[in-house]
Amino acid sequence: MRALFSRRLISRRSLLGSAAALLGSTALPRLGFAAGAVRLVAAADSEPRQLNPAIVASNGVFFIASKVIEPLAEASYDDGGLRPLLATGWEGSEDGSSVTFALREGVSWHDGKPFTSADVAFSAMEVWKPLQNIGRGVFANLEAVDTPDDHTAVFRFAKPMPLQLIANALPVVSAVLPKHVYEGTDIAENPANAALVGTGPFVWGEHRPGEYYLLRKNPAYWNAGEPRVDEVVFRVLPDRAAAASSLEAGEIQLAAFSAVPLVELDRIGKVPGLEVVTKGYEALTYQLVVEINHRNEHLKELKVRQAIAHAIDKAFVLDTIFLGYATAATGPVPANAPEFHTDDVTIYDFDVAKANALLDEAGFARGADGTRVALRLLPAPYFNETKQFGDYLRRALAAIGIDATIVANDSAGHQKAVYTEHAFDLAIAPTVFRGDPAISTTILVRSGVPDGVPFSNQGGYANAEIDRVVDEALVTLDPGARVELYHQFQRLVTADLPLINVADWSFTSVASDRVENIATNPRWAVSNWADVGLAD
Amino acid sequence: MPRLARLVLRRLAGSVPVLLIVVVGVFLLLDSAGGDAVDAYLVSIGGGDAALAEELRARYGLDRSVLARLLLTLGQLARGDLGWSVALNRPIGAVIAERLPNTLWLMGSATALAFASGSALGIVAGRRPGSAIDRLLSGGSLMLYSVPSFWLGLVLAVVFAVRLQWLPVSGIETIASGATGLARAADVARHLVLPVAALGTIYLALFLRVMRAGMVEAWGQDYTLAARARGVSSWRVALNHAARNALLPLVTMLGLQAASMIGGSVVIESVFGIPGFGRLAQEAVAGRDAPLLMAVILVSAVMVVAANLAVDLACGWLDPRIGSGRGGRG
């Protein structure tokens, strides 16, 4: 079409020809599905600014890039929780000062060069540690990576590093880049960040902005027999209604990450040939959290925070907002992380009378209009559910005499208002649990986080006891002792309420029943899909 | 052609002050919205530390003052360089060149559909005002005009793409089809049927009503009365006398609607997943990408100026009394 457009003159003959072709084509089957090639088409709701998963560890990037560039290990439902990918084994030293990775042999990059320990050392020292949004924290104390041979990489840390934390972080932080493509370049601006080179089951095809990403089968993939489809296409569909209708029309076979809105699931689940899958996101659990600005003179009173916790009817939130696709949260670690979760914590039942009594005790009496306190409430705009919960919370707070005014922003505005300017009293955030509390959970309550860091403690909360437990868990090598510290962390947080955890939720997928091996691991949507098949 | 080029240039030069105000206004408005491109980016990647934010701001040039950034962007625009999109990490010129044709195809086809069928039906309705067919068409057009285009788009998609599966649900062409030449043109045409119908139908109603009103007015004029007194058949009077004169306001309306058509295509592009200008503008705002938004608005303004110029030329051709800028009735 662009070729047609750029031609200065469109002859009458060519116009007649296209008209005839148009008439003819309506009678033809769908164009473009080349005979023989098995193509899986999935909906993508966004196009990340850059796709390099070693630099940007985010679900939006992983969704596409994880099929091309692989991490050392992937999350697994099996015991131990990890499936080896580019690393076949890992072992920590007694003193926690090093972790030794045995690397897979016989793996080559998509350009044919062999994968070696030099690639891992380069990725860790030049990319994960200095550039990656998550790796900058996890690898802050990484001093060097030794490569005694081509298939061994020894990570040396300045401070003792729990193997448990490193292992839990592997699926997220350890996407390995080819050293020979990146060395000596401006890594953040390397063209390979847009046309990925990896070791994964799929090779980069092309990206047509606004339309699709195309990945092709890697015939030389290290795991013989995989991948099972010839092409994976990510169709860009930012409009949420489009994902559902494209599924029904058979134009796409998969919509992951709740691209089909919750209210549509009941209906679409009954469409012949389509199924709703709720598994496969356990390691991508989100938490619906009420963030609290402790600089506010009312909110710094524990009784006020407790009253707010008692005013929230979690059952109503789960039924009405999440339509049952969520569970009640007990604290800052979701039940989907059984390794760390405990429900031996302070639980706040829905009890409006108790909430009112707590506010009375705190000395915040109702005024003539029934209002005790007026607050600003900023729901995060990223999910329908966070916005809807904002509306609910406003009403729930009104019942206990708190007059909350909703301040609506878009993503950038919300980030600035809450996490930089602290222009909020209460905010609603969808925080993510990423396999280990040390990765992105403790930062929500640890003091001393600089201004401007999204999804962190920007409420001015400081609790020396919580800080001590958080810091100790960072250097505790014994897994059992470390878990105990995180149980203590959950008890402290639920007792003092630096924030209020309301619900834990994961995503849903809607897929054609022809798609095989959906949800085979707890990070399925962002894993490499090597075993995914498409039946005839 | 040189005369035309001169006319276009004169029009553009005349609109420079307005464009400048618009561009500076857009820049300042977007700047005053909370958060910048780095905030938008950090949210999209799920977070990062404070030093990372600082590094990115330095990399994107966001650590400079508003004035410095505005002057830099204006300087680039003056040199004909649309600049670099921070949100998309690509040169803006290339992005525009990619998206503009999609929107032009959508708008152009919708306008052609609306104008051709609208005026034809307007003639039918206006030939005998008050007749049953007039009441039917007038009533129908009022209904169509009241329908929101996004709703019509969704209904068309559900009926023709999801249920009947005659046409594709969304997109501008079949993904990664490898088709070229005529096959590709036909594929694009198939994808455009529903969005063009959704966008065009609403404007069709507008053109129908304007045409009909012009016809009704013409019937009251002496020249139609004279023609009928001479015994000219009623269809010939309608077509050659009434419709010819009623066409002028219709063509003027075409120019006026160009701007609102761009707005309408924003909605339709979103419903049908067409990577066009409307979606680009939305991405620019969400990503706090002022240079990109400025470029989108500038190019849209140039399109509106060009459309109006074309309308002026067409009016001059339809009514010889209207000289091209040399006085006359218009």
| CB-based contact, B94 to chain A, within 8 Å | no
Identify all chain A residues contacting B290, using CB atoms and an 8 Å cutoff.
Answer: none
pLDDT of residue A352: 97
User: Is A212 in contact with B176 (Cβ distance < 8 A)?
Assistant: yes
Alpha carbon distance A353, A359 (integer Å): 10
- Measured between CA atoms, how close is B218 to chain A, in angstroms? 35
For A2-11, A483-492, B26-35, B281-290, which range has the lowest pLDDT when averaged over its residues? A2-11
| CB-based contact, B60 to chain A, within 8 Å | no
pLDDT of residue A17: 43
At A306-326, the pLDDT tens digits run 999 999 999 999 999 999 999
pLDDT of residue A35: 52
At B4-17, the pLDDT tens digits run 677 767 777 787 88
| CB-based contact, B293 to chain A, within 8 Å | no
Alpha carbon distance B161, B165 (integer Å): 4
Would you say B203 and B217 are in contact if contact means Cβ atoms under 8 Å apart? Answer: no
H or E, element range at A88: strand A87-92
Give the torsion through C-alpha atoms of A459, A463, A467, A470, to 10 deg. -80
pLDDT of residue A160: 92
DSSP assignment letter at A256: -
List of residues 6+ apart from B181 with CB closer than 8 A: A3
pLDDT of residue A32: 39
Identify all chain B residues contacting A60, using CB atoms and an 8 Å cutoff.
Answer: 44-45
| CB-based contact, A450 to chain B, within 8 Å | yes
Residue B322 has pLDDT above 70, yes or no: no
A264: left (phi over 0), alpha (psi -120 to 50) or beta: alpha
- Which of A18, A48, A454 lies nearest to residue B47, judging by beta carbons? A454
pLDDT of residue A20: 42
Identify all chain B residues contacting A414, using CB atoms and an 8 Å cutoff.
Answer: 34-35, 43
At B155-189, the pLDDT tens digits run 998 899 888 889 988 888 888 777 788 888 899 98
Interface with chain B: mutation pick from A139, A173, A208, A415, highest number of B CBs within 10 Å: A415
Chain A, window 40-79: residues with a beta carbon less than 8 angstroms from a chain B beta carbon: 41, 46-50, 56-61
- Measured between CA atoms, how close is B92 to chain A, in angstroms? 13
Percent of all residues in chain B with a pLDDT value above 90, rounded to a whole number: 10
Does B76 or A307 have the greater pLDDT score?
Answer: A307
Q: Reduced to 3 DSSP states, what percent helix, strand and coil does chain A have, rounded to the nearest 5?
A: 35, 20, 45
Going by their DSSP bridges, the two strands A152-157 and A98-103 should be labelled as antiparallel
Rg of chain B's alpha carbons, rounded to an integer? 24
Alpha carbon distance A440, A189 (integer Å): 26
- Which of B95, B157, B176 lies nearest to residue A245, judging by beta carbons? B157
Secondary structure (DSSP) of B191-252: HHHHHHHHHHHHHHHHHHHHHHHHHHHHHTSHHHHHHHHTT--HHHIIIIIIIHHHHHHHHH
Token pair for A163: 């193997």
Would you say B197 and B190 are in contact if contact means Cβ atoms under 8 Å apart? Answer: no
Q: Is the pTM of this model over 0.95?
A: no
- Measured between CA atoms, how close is B192 to chain A, in angstroms? 11
Token pair for A448: 């001393």
pLDDT of residue A16: 41
User: Is B169 in contact with A50 (Cβ distance < 8 A)?
Assistant: no
Chain B, window 218-277: residues with a beta carbon less than 8 angstroms from a chain A beta carbon: 270-273, 275
| CB-based contact, A479 to chain B, within 8 Å | no
User: Is A4 in contact with B288 (Cβ distance < 8 A)?
Assistant: no
User: Is A48 in contact with B33 (Cβ distance < 8 A)?
Assistant: no
Alpha carbon distance A203, A219 (integer Å): 9
pLDDT of residue B316: 77
User: Is B162 in contact with A21 (Cβ distance < 8 A)?
Assistant: no
Identify all chain B residues contacting A49, using CB atoms and an 8 Å cutoff.
Answer: 41, 44, 87-89
- Which of B34, B173, B181 lies nearest to residue A417, judging by beta carbons? B34
pLDDT of residue A10: 38
A–B: how many Cβ contacts below 8 A?
217
Using CB atoms within 10 A of its CB, is residue A480 exposed (0-12), middle (13-18) or buried (19+)?
exposed
For B100, name the nearest residue in chain A, comparing CA atoms only: A2
Identify all chain B residues contacting A136, using CB atoms and an 8 Å cutoff.
Answer: 48-49, 51-52
For A236, name the nearest residue in chain B, comparing CA atoms only: B273
Does A289 or B247 have the greater pLDDT score?
Answer: A289
Identify all chain A residues contacting B177, using CB atoms and an 8 Å cutoff.
Answer: 31-32
User: Is B52 in contact with A235 (Cβ distance < 8 A)?
Assistant: no
H or E, element range at B187: helix B181-219
Question: Which parts of chain A register pLDDT below 50?
Answer: 1-34
Token pair for A262: 């919750």
| CB-based contact, B39 to chain A, within 8 Å | yes
